[in-house]
Structure 1
Amino acid sequence: MGNREALLAGAKRCLYERGYTRPTSREIADAAGVSMGAISYHFGSREALLNEALIEAMLEWGAEVDAAVAAVSQEGPAGGHFETVWSRIVDSMVAHPGLWAATLEAFSRTDHPAEVRTQLSAALARARVGLARLLHPTGLSEDEEWKLGSIYQALLSGLALQWLLDADRSLSGPDLADALRVMAARIS
Structure 2
Amino acid sequence: MGNREDLLAGARRCLFEKGYARTTVRDIAAAAGGVSMAAIGYHFGSKEALLNEALAEANREWGAELERALDDAAQPGATPLDRFATNWQAVIDSIGAHRGLWAATFDTLAQAGHDPKTRDQLADKLTEARGGLARLFEHLDEADTAQGRAVGALYQALLTGVAAQYLIDPDHAPTGAELAAALRTITG
Q: Identity over aligned residues, as a percent?
A: 51
C-alpha distance in 1, partners of 2:161/2:44? 31
C-alpha displacement of 1:116: 2.7
Partner of 1:31: 31
Matched, 1:19 2:19: yes
Q: Which residue of 2 aligns with 1:5?
A: 5
- 1:138-159 per-residue CA deviation (whole Å, 9 max, x = no partner) reads 4877111111211111111111
1:61 counterpart = 2:62 = yes
1:136 is matched with which residue?
138
Q: Which amino acid aligns with 2:67?
A: D
Q: Does 1:156 align with 2:154?
A: no
Could you tell me the TM-score, scaled by structure 2's length?
0.90
Structure 1: tracts of 5 or more residues without a match: none
- Asked whether the equivalents of residues 128 and 150 of structure 1 are also in contact (C-alpha less than 8 Å), the reply is yes
Q: Does 1:170 align with 2:169?
A: no
C-alpha distance in structure 2 between counterparts of 1:10 and 1:66, whole Å: 26
**Contact 1:81-1:135 within 8 A present in 2 as well:** no
Q: In the alignment, is residue 105 of structure 1 matched against residue 84 of structure 2?
A: no
Contact 2:7 2:28 in 1 (8 A): yes
Shift of 1:27: 0.8
- Name segments (4+ residues, structure 1) moved above 6 Å: none
Partner of 1:95: 97
Quote how far apart the aligned CAs of 1:167 are.
Answer: 0.6
Instruction: Tell me the secondary structure at the aligned position of residue 182 of structure 2.
Output: helix
Distance, in Å, in 2 between the alignment partners of 1:154 and 1:64 is 20
Is contact 2:10-2:31 (8 Å) kept?
yes
Q: Tell me the SS of whatever aligns to 2:69.
A: helix
* 5+ long unaligned stretches in structure 2: none
The 5-angstrom pairing of residues 65-76 of structure 1 reads 65-73=66-74, 76=76
Residues 26 and 70 from structure 1, CA distance in 2 versus in 1: closer, same or farther, beyond 3 angstroms?
Answer: same
User: Among residues 126, 146, 150, which one is paired with 1:147 in the alignment?
Assistant: 150
1:184 aligns with 2:187: yes
CA displacement 1:99-155 (0-9 Å, x = unmatched): 101101212331123x43222101111111211211111487711111121111111
RMSD of aligned residue pairs (Cα, Å): 1.9
In structure 2, give the amino acid aligned to 1:51.
N
Give 1:53 shift: 0.4
User: How has the CA–CA distance of structure 1 residues 53 and 70 changed in structure 2, closer, same or farther, with 3 Å as cutoff?
Assistant: same
Q: 1:126 to 1:176 in 2, by over 3 A?
A: same
| CA deviation string 1:73-104 (max 9, x = no partner) | 2x759773222221111111101111101101
* Alpha-carbon spacing, 1:77–1:84, altered in 2? closer, same or farther (3 Å): farther
User: CA 1:149–1:59 in 2, change beyond 3 Å: closer, same or farther?
Assistant: same
